[in-house]
Amino acid sequence: MPEAPSSQLLAPHYLTQFQCIGPDCEETCCIGWQIQVDQAHFVALEKVMSRSAEERELFRHAYVPVPEAERTRDVHAKIQLQPGRACIFLDEERLCTIQRNYGEELLSNVCATYPRLVVRANDRLEVSGKMSCPEMARRCLLDPRAMELVDLDPAKLQRTQPQARQPALFDFYVHYFDDVRVALLRILNQDQHPLDARLFALARFAEQCAPFFFRGTQRFEERLLVGVIDETHIVPFARRDGAVSSAVMRLVLQLLFDRSASPTTSSSLRHLVNDVFCACGVESAGETEAVRMGELFERRRRWWEAEHAARIDGYFSNYARNYWLTNWYTTSPTLAAHLLKLLVRQAALRLLLFCHPALAPPTERDIAIEQKTLDAVVVEVVYKFTRAFEHFEEFLKQLNQSIETWDAAKLIPELLHF
């Protein structure tokens, strides 16, 4: 079997380069989200804010109590939002007054760790970043070295309490987690091949594992898994000529229309989807508009890939690697279902990227300006999409359950052409 990671604290390189840019952030995490506060830091902050009448009054108005029946050590209260949905502790310079006045150690666990994700995988901790943070997305997507795995000094993390763990039950699907994920990441790391060829190799890997490797499998032989790992090679993938299928385009359009119209979505995604679809003259996910959108998407993609194919491949390669690193395949019933979830996300991101108003092809080419524009738009698209799709647990659960019912064998080949 492949050698599994041995580090006790593992992180991608981009995490070591991340630093919050505070007031310079294009969309601060201190506006729009009602943050959950753990009991320990609620009590600690209450104590230090009891020194004056003004502080006591601010603390009294700063939190929304969680009903006692729902209260846990991790979710004791929620921070009150001001008009405009800003955190009550955010000052006029868009800086945190808790951190400024009382120190980072008084921040709630959520505020102290975001946008980092700390998880326990077997006997080690892994730390990665959430793409809903614009600066984290920038570090992950734009740096060619971003997804190199490195040993992280624990002293660089103030909080190392895991936010997720591998399930304790014995299941072959879970037991071989390290071996399988290492094998999949090795495929994705072969950057000498185009991303679509590497994703095609993942699809073949998942297809060959399907008969014996899935959640709850009872009849398992290690030699079969070893055989798939050893025999999976990357071969050229021929993207077909012409637009993506109208059926797949309708699926992606409907996903974006539905999410942008939901009352639980983020306003930033709603504005992004509206700007993209209005610029393209698309008002629904009907057949005619799906065909027209597919043709426009294909023209735009060809224009941008003519000079920037490697750069664009780099964005989505890093996104795919980060997905397999942070979204454990064990949360899906099969490898194919997990791959399908990635391909659906990438299809939506590609559509929003290439059809973004800022990427309307200019009359004259200027490679340097085009690269800066691409970088800025892909960061915008990824962080806004992630905020709307990955930060609402009930919606994400329903979306993933829905995708798991789709015909992966039929959809994966179509999505590889997106």
pLDDT digits (tens, 9 = 90+) for 63-84: 998 999 999 999 999 999 998 8
Residues whose CB falls within 8 Å of the CB of residue 192, separated by 6 or more in sequence, listed in order: none
β-sheet bridge partners, residue 340: none
Average pLDDT (383-399) is 90
State the Cα torsion 36-41-43-44 to the nearest 10°: -150
* pLDDT for the residue 321: 98
Give the per-residue pLDDT at 2. 40
Spatial neighbors of 149 by CB under 8 A, at least 6 apart, are 5, 7, 10, 11, 12, 13
pLDDT for res 244? 87
Q: How confident is the model at residue 1 (pLDDT cuts 50, 70, 90)?
A: very low
Give yes or no for residue 367 having a pLDDT over 50: yes
pLDDT at 161: 76
Upstream peptide bond of 362 is cis (omega within 30 degrees of 0): no
pLDDT at 5 over 70: no
Q: How many Å apart are CA 402 and CA 418, to the nearest integer?
A: 20
- Partnered with residue 64 across adjacent β-strands are 78
pLDDT above 90 covers a percentage of the chain that reads 80
The confidence band for 7, taking pLDDT boundaries of 50, 70 and 90, is: low
Average pLDDT over residues 190-216: 96
Q: Which of 416, 349, 357 is nearest to 386 (CA)?
A: 349
Q: For the whole model, what pTM was predicted?
A: 0.93
* 60 vs 165, more confident: 60
Residue-wise pLDDT for 281-320, tens only, equals: 999 999 999 999 999 999 999 999 999 999 999 999 999 9
Please give the residue that has the higher pLDDT: either 396 or 6.
Answer: 396
Residue reference for tokens 């964005």: 315
- 332 pLDDT exceeds 60? yes
8 A C-beta contact, residue 348 and residue 392: no
Q: How far apart are CA 87 and CA 98, in angstroms?
A: 11
Residue 21 and residue 56: Cα distance in Å, rounded?
A: 30
In 3-state terms the chain splits into helix, strand, coil percentages (rounded to 5) of 55, 10, 35
What's the rounded Cα separation, in Å, for the pair 249 and 287? Answer: 9
> Higher pLDDT residue, 371 or 153?
371
Task: Give the model's pLDDT for residue 241.
Answer: 77
Calpha distance 278→286 (Å, rounded): 15
For residue 167, the model assigns a pLDDT of 65
Tell me what the mean pLDDT of segment 331-336 comes to: 95
d(CA 25, CA 366) in angstroms, rounded, equals 27
pLDDT in tens, 216-261: 988 899 999 999 999 999 998 988 777 789 999 999 999 999 999 9
- pLDDT > 50? residue 4: no
Q: Residue type at 289?
A: E
pLDDT of residue 240: 77
User: What pLDDT is stored for residue 264 in this prediction?
Assistant: 84
Residue 20 has pLDDT above 60, yes or no: yes
- Domains of the chain: which residue ranges? 1-29+114-418, 30-112
Tell which residue, 118, 52, 130, 199, has the closest CA to residue 390: 130
> Closest Cα to residue 409, out of 331, 336, 344?
336
For range 13-42, the mean pLDDT: 93
Closest among 348, 81, 389, 86 to 265, alpha carbons compared = 389
The 8-class DSSP code of residue 329 comes to G
Burial 53-80 (b: 16+ CB within 10 A, else e): eebeeebeebbeebeeeeeeeeebbbbe
What mean pLDDT comes out for the span 367-391?
A: 96
pLDDT, one tens digit per residue, over 38-60 is 999 999 999 999 999 999 999 99
